[in-house]
Amino acid sequence: MNKDVIYIEPEDDITDIITKIENSKEKIVALVPPKKAGVFRSVVNIKLISKVGNTSEKTVVLVTTDPSIVKLAAATKIPVTKNLQTPPAVPEMDLEVEETSEEEVVDAPEDEEETVEEVAEEVEEPEPEKKEKKPKKKEKKAKKSSEKTGNPVIDWIKAHKKLTIFAGIAAVALIIFLVWAFAIAPAATVTVGIQTESKSFAENVSFTTNATDENAKEGKLYLQEKKVEKVQEVKFEATGKKNVGEKATGTLVITRNFFMGGSIEIHEGNIFTINGLNYLATENVSIGWSGWGSSPSEMKESVKNCANASTAIDNEFCTKIAKVKVVAAEGGSKYNIPASSGGWSSVVQVDIRSDDPMSGGTDNVVTIVEQSDIEKAKDQLKSSSEEEVKQKLYEDVGDNMMIIESSFKQETAAAEATPAAGEEVKEGTTPTLKATTTATVYAIDKAKMEEFITEKAKLDDDQKIYEIKDPFIENFGEVSGGYTGRLKTNYAVGPKVTDSDILEMIKGKGVGDAQHDLKNINGIVSVSIETSYPWVSVIPGDTNKITINIEVKEKEGGSE
């Protein structure tokens, strides 16, 4: 029977082997694994080889002496032979196979391979119920001597594979470290000390509210009004008490003696008081006497109208009596008083008595807002609102503007209390006081102000202003057509050295050379260069890895 001998390459995977078996045109397929054939050391792969042999109706024989492959073949019932001259057989699970060199397998003469066919045919026949016991296990041959190529370097590497791998890993790590240490990690921080001189500044300026009229170099600056409104609210406690029960009512008897004529008027709302309790007239009443008259009949009528006719005739005066309805000034049972013949008083010059008691007053005491409560709340509102509104206004102005402090104004509209003074505070509510506070201030553009200062300072080309310290406007005031004031400040002037100048000068240079070159610049009084790691002695050529810090140091001696 024809056969197909397939030599498996080291790079072949299980898919390649299965494809080769399926593509074989012969019924017997002998597989010759290479040295260290990892694909044949997997029980899953051996099972797949066995399965594809069964499904494709082919007999697969493994030509190998590798003990691990032989054991896997035994487990999957695949026949094995140690070379192409030896009849194949399905190995038993405990069988130790005699090792044979690879040359012994591969270099077998082709005319002696017929034994594979014969045994394959025997494997296809039914096996007897019992097999004869195999002869006693053969002893394994001594390990193969390592092959030598004649090249001492290659021979040493083959003899020390693990050491070679570790050395290779270490070399790669070293290369990576060196790239990082000398190409990626290097960075530098350069701190340059600049000495400046402080100078004072005081110049008159004018301000305009029209942006088109601004001329910074001539000291005419655009004045911008900033405004903020804030509704402030404060809660307060109501301390007033009021009896809103029913009001007592009654009637007073008014008596007045008139001498030779006259009259008196009692108006609605006139107050009558007894024992500290006030009652108000609820109607208008007029009391008067027009005299005795000239005729006997008139005289008789006048006497009739007087309370005491004899007294009136003898003394030429008449007593008039009237009744006035009154109501208590507020609710409360305390206004329910008995009749009283005296003790009453009023702004109206009359005698007062009550022939009947005052009655109908009931008690219902509630909390009300007193005016004093509102005044206290106003003080609290004012103290909290002024600082808050000013702070918010200044925040809204922005850092690019200079505030003219003396122009700050703040006004608070009339506060409104809810409930109002004298009104009841309902249960579960808290009185509040609200007021709208408006704050305004003028500000100017800092850049324009600095432009004016630079213009007046008349600096040399190699000089620049490093700092303008706390500028302010003095004597700010309104004049015809605008505003005026005096700008005052101190500024620090020094050599014109920029970050970009320093970067261009030092990038790619050694640390010592960079320090030397920077110190030669007029006005630089100190140089400090710190590198990222001790081994870094050269400033990186990449400017992104260089940090420049310019420290301004003011010259001692004060300002001019």
What is the predicted pLDDT for the residue at 112? 39
Predicted confidence at residue 316, as pLDDT, reads 54
Cβ proximity of 410 and 389 under 8 Å:
yes
> Would you tell me how many other CB atoms lie within 10 Å of the CB of residue 160?
12
Secondary structure (DSSP) of 65-88: --HHHHHHHHHHT--EESSTTSPP
CA angle 29, 35, 38 (to 5 degrees): 80
- pLDDT value at 283 more than 70: yes
For residue 358, pLDDT over 90 is answered with yes
* Helices 14-23 & 43-55 angle (0-180, nearest 10): 20
Say if CB 195 and CB 523 are below 8 A apart. Answer: yes
> Do residues 32 and 105 lie in contact, with contact meaning Cβ atoms separated by under 8 Å?
yes
Per-residue DSSP letter, 427: T
The radius of gyration of the chain from alpha carbons, rounded to an integer in Å, stands at 61
407 burial (CB, 10 Å; 0-12 / 13-18 / 19+) is buried
Closest CA to 508 of 533, 555, 484, 542: 542
Q: How confident is the model at residue 306 (pLDDT cuts 50, 70, 90)?
A: low
DSSP labels, 204-247? EEEEES-GGG-BGGGTEEE-EEEEEEEEEEEE----EEEE-SPP
Share of the chain above pLDDT 70, in %: 80
Residue whose tokens read 């340059």? 192
pLDDT for residue 305: 59
Closest CA to 393 of 440, 338, 458: 440
The whole-number pLDDT of residue 289 equals 66
Domain ranges of the chain: 3-124, 226-237+369-444, 245-363
- Each residue's pLDDT tens digit, 379-436: 887 766 667 788 888 888 888 999 999 999 888 788 889 999 988 899 889 999 888 8
Residues in the chain: 560
Q: Is the pLDDT of residue 134 over 60?
A: no
DSSP line for 332-365 = -GGG----BSS--EESS--EEEBSS--B-----E
**Residue 135 clears pLDDT 50, i.e. is over it:** no
**Residue 24 near residue 48, CB atoms below 8 Å:** no
Task: Check if the beta carbon of residue 309 is closer than 8 Å to that of residue 318.
Answer: no
- Asked whether the bond before 419 is cis by omega within 30 degrees of 0, the reply is yes
Residue 491 has pLDDT above 70, yes or no: yes
Question: Is pLDDT of 105 > 50?
Answer: no
Task: Compute the C-alpha angle 225/228/234, nearest 5°.
Answer: 155
